[in-house]
Chains A and B, each alone.
Chain A
């Protein structure tokens, strides 16, 4: 009879608080991840939006090629016109 009471006390005073403490820690950790995941998702969306201008690089590429070609033509003419140093 005394052992049963001792077992009850152990359950209520030791086991129950330990179980609650551990499970509460797991639950808090899981809940702590949620806002961070939300921020990561928001950053990914924002980063994806920033890359909407990437197709403009194709225009830049074409302009650079045109500019360098014009500079090459002009440089070739200058090479003919001007004396060397």
Chain B
């Protein structure tokens, strides 16, 4: 066999060996890829299965929260009025009035009074409780039911009559001693009801 033929055979063999080597290497890599993809697919399927009910649950939660927001916004505006509502919101959550109330598009344009800079949150709460609160003296709904200047006499009306309404009808303080107008009767049974003091006496 001529030398050129031998060299050609060797060259072809080298090419075949190179092809086999790299193809085997590629096959091994593809098998690793297949195994990895199987794991990835299993993980993705698990994610899909676990996240399937999320949409429905989140939609339900959002629907309930929306209803709550509608309720609270409506109640706040109904009871406090738009202007005071925005002032209260601004006091509790500074900057919240920029976004406004969701169901009241004009609320973001409402000028919010600076309520929280003057009164504390507790006072605001009392003010929101109605005109009974002393702070509500300047309520746009009318005068306060409790007069803050005479709050004690107003509260005194809650007690039994005479003492606060007609104090002049109160009985005199008892006079003690041998010449007291009302003498204790030793025969009066102890433990029984005491005789009422006479009323209508002239005060000294």
Binding site for B on A (CB under 8 A): 1, 4-5, 7-8, 11-12, 15-16, 19-20, 23-24, 26-27, 30-31, 33-34, 37-38, 40-41, 43-45, 47-48, 51-52, 54, 57-58, 60-61, 64-65, 67-68, 71-72, 75, 78-79, 81-85
Cβ-defined contact, A8 with B36, below 8 A: no
Cβ-defined contact, B11 with A12, below 8 A: yes
CA distance A85 to B83 in the complex (A): 10
B142: min CB distance to chain A, Å: 9
Q: Which of under 10, 10 to 19, 20 to 34, or 35 or more describes the interface residues of B?
A: 35 or more
Cβ-defined contact, B47 with A72, below 8 A: no
Cβ-defined contact, A82 with B79, below 8 A: yes
Cβ contact of A83, chosen from B65, B84, B141, cutoff 8 A: B141
CA distance A48 to B12 in the complex (A): 52
Contacts of B50 in A (CB 8 A): 48, 51-52, 54
Take A11-B11, A33-B29, A64-B61 as given contacts and tell me if A84 and B43 are in contact as well, using a CB distance cutoff of 8 Å: no
Cβ-defined contact, B19 with A19, below 8 A: yes
10 further A-B pairs in the complex, CB-CB below 8 A; given A44-B43, A71-B71: A8-B8, A11-B15, A23-B26, A27-B26, A30-B29, A40-B36, A48-B47, A54-B50, A60-B57, A61-B60
Main secondary structure of the interface of A (DSSP, over half): helix
CA distance A54 to B128 in the complex (A): 40
B18 is an interface residue with CB less than 8 A from chain A: yes
Within 8 A of A (CB), among B1-57: 2, 4-5, 7-8, 11-12, 14-15, 18-19, 21-23, 25-26, 29-30, 32-33, 36-37, 39-40, 42-44, 46-47, 50-51, 53-54, 57
B50: min CB distance to chain A, Å: 4
Cβ-defined contact, A27 with B22, below 8 A: yes
Cβ-defined contact, A84 with B78, below 8 A: yes
Take A8-B8, A58-B57, A64-B64 as given contacts and tell me if A20 and B84 are in contact as well, using a CB distance cutoff of 8 Å: no
B94 is an interface residue with CB less than 8 A from chain A: no
Cβ-defined contact, A8 with B18, below 8 A: no
Q: List 14 A-B contacts (CB under 8 A).
A: A1-B2, A4-B5, A5-B7, A16-B18, A23-B26, A30-B25, A31-B29, A33-B29, A48-B47, A57-B54, A58-B57, A64-B61, A71-B72, A82-B128
